[in-house]
Amino acid sequence: MIVLSKSALRGWTRVRTTSRKRPSSSRRPNIRDDEVIETGQYDPAKALGSSSRKQMETAMSQQSSMHFYLNWAKERIDEMDAALASFEVKAGQAKAESKVKTDRLLSDLTTRRDAFQAMLKTQAEAGEAAWTEAKADLEKQWAGFEAQVKTYFEDAGKQFEQQQATFKDVAAAQAKAWREAADKFRDAAGKVASARTVDVDAALKQMKSDASEAEARLQKLKQAGSESWSVLSAALAESRKAFDQANQAAWDALKGAGPKS
């Protein structure tokens, strides 16, 4: 198994977890943006130097798997950031009694998001084999975040306006994740040998098609405006599942592909 050093990965494009400027209550403590996660353009020649073409192909296959995991995790972080930003707006507008509950929710959700982020930062430096176990732990963190949001809306009663606001922000974060994943895949696809071009082009086309379908379904719910959070969260879960499947299929298409000569 080939393990790439940090210096070999410095050419990658840094990804910010969100383009939204977050209020101070949700900033990640003790984690600099340049320490978070790096993904994007991978230069196998730079990473492996004079290694053989076979080693280069193996490394590219490993990086395809890493891209899947990092895109998976970043999509969850983007959703968590979007939900937090939505609740921060709510907290600023809330009256004294409801503000206490909202502030408590924000504190708990921020702690969960920071734990997920810290775990991911550590895992980003590990090899592919370690990701299977780590992903299971990250999924537990993500499930806890989702469950707490659901409990809040269930206990709060009729909160249609806040539910829609949160739904719209999270749906926008999903759409952003789709676009960024497609862009990264297209950049990586430009580096593979022409023998795999057909498979890679088909995977990219399918990813864009799936993204459009997912966004269209969420758009319908945005316009409805009166659905319960259970309905809205189910739609987000369906879109998220489609993202994971498209993300996996796309990077699988690059496994075993050699770089352009």
Predicted confidence (pLDDT) per residue in 94-104, tens digit: 776 678 888 99
When mean pLDDT is compared over 18-27, 42-51, 54-63, 230-239, the highest value belongs to 230-239
Predicted local confidence at residue 259, as pLDDT? 53
Predicted local confidence at residue 156, as pLDDT? 76
Q: What is the domain range of residue 152?
A: 55-252
In a domain, 35, yes or no: no
In a domain, 18, yes or no: no
CA distance 91 to 85: 10
In a domain, 43, yes or no: no
In a domain, 133, yes or no: yes
When mean pLDDT is compared over 37-46, 81-90, 114-123, 208-217, the highest value belongs to 81-90
H-run or E-run covering 71: helix 53-93
> Is the predicted pLDDT of residue 175 greater than 70, yes or no?
yes
The DSSP string of 118-144 is HHHHHHTTS-GGGHHHHHHHHHHHHHH
In a domain, 83, yes or no: yes
Q: How confident is the model at residue 202 (pLDDT cuts 50, 70, 90)?
A: confident
CA distance 113 to 111: 5
> Is the predicted pLDDT of residue 25 greater than 50, yes or no?
no
In a domain, 165, yes or no: yes
Q: Alpha carbon 143 to chain centroid distance?
A: 14
CA distance 236 to 217: 10
Contact 170, 82 (CB under 8 A): yes
In a domain, 31, yes or no: no
CA-CA distances (angstroms) from residue 48 to 7, 57, 77, 169?
11, 11, 31, 41
User: What is the value of pTM for the model shown?
Assistant: 0.72
Tokens representing 114 are 């920071």
Q: Specify burial of residue 120 (Cβ count, 10 A radius: 0-12, 13-18, 19+).
A: buried
The DSSP string of 185-236 is HHHHHTTB-GGGHHHHHHHHHHHHHHHHHHHHHHHHHHHH----HHHHHHHH
What are the two backbone dihedrals, phi and then psi, of residue 146, each rounded to the nearest 5 degrees?
Answer: -60, -45
**% of the chain surpassing 70 pLDDT:** 67
Q: How confident is the model at residue 253 (pLDDT cuts 50, 70, 90)?
A: confident
In a domain, 38, yes or no: no
Q: How many domains does the chain have?
A: 1
Please, which residues bridge with residue 38 across strands?
14
